[in-house]
Amino acid sequence: MPPQPRSDTVAERLRLKSGELTAAERKLMAALFDNYPMAGLVSITEFARVADVSTPSVLRLAKKIGFAGFPSFQEQLRAELSAQLQNPIAKHDRWSADAPDTHILNRFASAAMENLSGSLKLVDHRDFDATVALLADRKRKLHIGGGRITHPLAAYLSTHLQMARPGVSLIPAVHSHWPLYLLDIGKQDVLIFFDIRRYDARMLDFAASARERGAKVVLITDQWISPVARLAVHTLPLRIEAPSSWDSNIVPLFVAESLVAATVNASWRDTEARIQELEALSDTGRRGR
Amino acid sequence: MPPQPRSDTVAERLRLKSGELTAAERKLMAALFDNYPMAGLVSITEFARVADVSTPSVLRLAKKIGFAGFPSFQEQLRAELSAQLQNPIAKHDRWSADAPDTHILNRFASAAMENLSGSLKLVDHRDFDATVALLADRKRKLHIGGGRITHPLAAYLSTHLQMARPGVSLIPAVHSHWPLYLLDIGKQDVLIFFDIRRYDARMLDFAASARERGAKVVLITDQWISPVARLAVHTLPLRIEAPSSWDSNIVPLFVAESLVAATVNASWRDTEARIQELEALSDTGRRGR
DNA sequence: TACAATCTGAAATTATCGCTTCACACGCGA
DNA sequence: TCGCGTGTGAAGCGATAATTTCAGATTGTA
């Protein structure tokens, strides 16, 4: 390997060494990237304070990535910033550093952002709020399920809701077990289904049976809307296109996380105690091992 | 004297006073505008040297345009620069129609966008590309795992990679099964781990054992970087903050989907046939019911 | 459990910076 | 020519920043 090219940016040097950084050094790296490169253009004392480490740690990091001291480290940051300011195309720095626009990461990121803003226009926030009210109602049991592709989303939602409240059950991926789970669905229960194309006929059957048993169905689907919507009290249609052979489930995950956050907010009094209890039990479990 | 007008930029203040500047002060103004505002972000000594005046002249200029001293003059320059660098991403057009900005959907969306653009800056795209090369190499077996929270992400990635190539296995969520899976990890295999805070000590152990058996470890983690990074050939650090009691896994999912798309692209010839075969088998299966 | 290796920040030290003072230079009118 | 006002920078003095040292804390290991 040739000797380290001295023209490398601070960001590149940090990434190069990121594997061998200590805890304090990682804090500094995080602080710097949090506002790059401005965060590094203050005094060493101030930079250390912002990252919540000592000044020697800043110095050690600067030396580890090949600078003589803090001033030369800072000089490099200034040089990068100057170069960037003179180059008007630099607005792309918010994407992957120096990767071309056509890089899959950047194309996927654009698609994700468009899906997200498109979905927010598509979704009726009253449906969202009404769904949250259902999820926050502890008198109702929750049943969460998804198709072959979306099942991990259902699992994710179920794990988080379980931390927030009791009475959450995940319907397994394997169809043959479904009748058993249908048995446990009762009046006033809520069935949350992820169903995106291609829609699974068996999910429609399941949702129909659940509804007959008195459950309320909430559907998270794509913009072409699964047939389950006819049975659902609330439908959240999302955009899921991606530059890929398969659809993107980023926005469905976004909705799942938002539902969790909103549900926790809506019933904070009950939830707070439960989370603290969970923490305590986890700690005990860890120590007991 | 009225309180110092903090909204004026240094450039405006200078132009305002440009009529009453002395020779040395005009030299300083010219030097600053020559590379605004970077030229002023060095030490007073250096700035004076560049403009070919003495340091007291710099100080006198700073005071003349209303600053208490050189540091506060410089602070103003930094503030202007920060404001200028603020990415215009923040002002995306309306989110959810007529929902207030404070609605959880909009707050979560902002957080997601910031996490995404922040992560793209944090991730080294060469690590990403190198990871894709590993995933696309059909001679290597892939083992995919995650912690309690991130396991669904591992499952999602595994499902998609399985559609793209053979030799993909998902490490189950239950720790007690792990030794059995370790047995099957061999030289040249690849272990893809999702590990975000709080890091699981058992994942570190597992990764260490896998590495000892000759496997290459790829780590998808958060910006605070899991200790597994020390064992990993490639680390993808991501931003995961959310206005919620728990972290957001939207960006990890984004990376998983991007990895799948890039892997498919990288080995399209092999993948195409496999996907078509899968389609055919699925159809048969459905008809056979 | 003890030992070694590594990491970390408090404190001391050194270097540099920001600022003040003051002597001198210059222009200009008496 | 002198005197006066204004502008300038050399020199020096704290103040602050950068660096070094070192002892305690932490972590991994026998």
Helix A23-34 and helix A10-17, axial crossing angle in degrees, nearest 10: 150
Sheet holding A234-238, edge to edge: A168-170, A142-146, A190-195, A216-222, A234-238
Sign of the Cα pseudo-torsion (B231, B233, A54, A27, in order): negative
Map tokens 């979905």 to a residue: A119
| B 66-125 residues inside an 8 A Cβ radius of A | 78, 81-82, 85, 87-89, 92-99, 103-106, 108-109, 112-113, 116-118, 120-125
Letter for the amino acid at A10? V
Map tokens 């929270």 to a residue: B149
Q: Could you give the CA distance from residue B237 to residue A90 in angstroms, rounded to a whole number?
A: 23
Query: Which residues 6+ apart lie within 8 Å of B90 measured at CB?
Result: B110
CATH of domain B106-287: 3.40.50.10490
| A 165-204 residues inside an 8 A Cβ radius of B | none
CATH architecture designation of domain A10-94 = Orthogonal Bundle (1.10)
Report the range out of A275-284, B247-256, B261-270 with the highest average pLDDT: B247-256
Residues facing A146 on adjacent strands: A194
Query: Could you tell me the two tokens for A104?
Result: 């899959």
pLDDT digits 0-9 by tens, A111-128: 999 899 888 888 888 899
- State yes or no: cis peptide before A71, omega within 30 of 0: no
Are A123 and B112 a contacting pair at CB < 8 A?
no
DSSP B39: G
pLDDT value, residue B250: 97
pLDDT value, residue A211: 92
Using a 10 angstrom Cβ sphere, with 0-12 exposed, 13-18 middle and 19 or more buried, the burial of residue B135 is buried
CATH number 1.20.1090.10 is the correct assignment for the domain at A106-283 = no
Q: Residues by CB within 7 Å of nucleic chain D, which ones?
A: A 43-46, 55-56, 59, 62, 68-71, 74; B 22-25, 52-57, 60, 227
Q: Mean pLDDT across the stretch A99-122?
A: 83
Are B225 and A21 a contacting pair at CB < 8 A?
yes
pLDDT digits 0-9 by tens, A7-46: 478 887 888 788 788 889 989 998 888 888 889 999 999 9
Residue B78: C-alpha distances to residues A29, A90, A182, B84 (Å)? 20, 19, 62, 10
On whether the CB atoms of residues B213 and B182 are closer than 8 A, the answer is yes
Q: Is a pLDDT exceeding 90 seen at residue B193?
A: yes
3-class state of residue A202 by DSSP: helix
Reported as type and span, the H/E element at residue A142 is strand A142-146
Q: Is A254 on the interface with B (CB under 8 A)?
A: yes
Query: Could you tell me the two tokens for B212?
Result: 């000892």
Chain B contacts of A34, Cβ < 8 Å?
118
Query: Which residues 6+ apart lie within 8 Å of A215 measured at CB?
Result: A143, A185, A186, A187, A188, A189, A190, A191
Nearest nucleotide to the CA of B70, by C1', is C18
pLDDT value, residue B1: 40
Query: Residue B219 phi/psi, 5° resolution?
Result: -115, 130
Q: Is a pLDDT exceeding 90 seen at residue A258?
A: yes
Helix B23-34 and helix B55-64, axial crossing angle in degrees, nearest 10: 80
CATH number 3.90.1150.10 is the correct assignment for the domain at B12-85 = no
Q: Could you give the CA distance from residue B5 to residue B8 in angstroms, rounded to a whole number?
A: 6
Question: Rounded mean pLDDT of chain B?
Answer: 84
Q: Could you give the CA distance from residue B42 to residue B22 in angstroms, rounded to a whole number?
A: 22
The answer to whether A10-94 and A106-283 have equal CATH topology is no
pLDDT value, residue B101: 60
Q: How many CA atoms lie within 13 A of A5 on its CB side?
A: 5
Residue B67: C-alpha distances to residues B37, B52, B78, B137 (Å)? 16, 22, 14, 62
Are B224 and A26 a contacting pair at CB < 8 A?
yes
Integer distance in angstroms from CA B201 to C1' D25? 21
Are A15 and B127 a contacting pair at CB < 8 A?
yes
Are A38 and B103 a contacting pair at CB < 8 A?
no
Reported as type and span, the H/E element at residue B192 is strand B190-195
Query: Could you tell me the two tokens for B60?
Result: 């006198």
| Helix segments in A238-289, DSSP class H | 250-266, 268-288
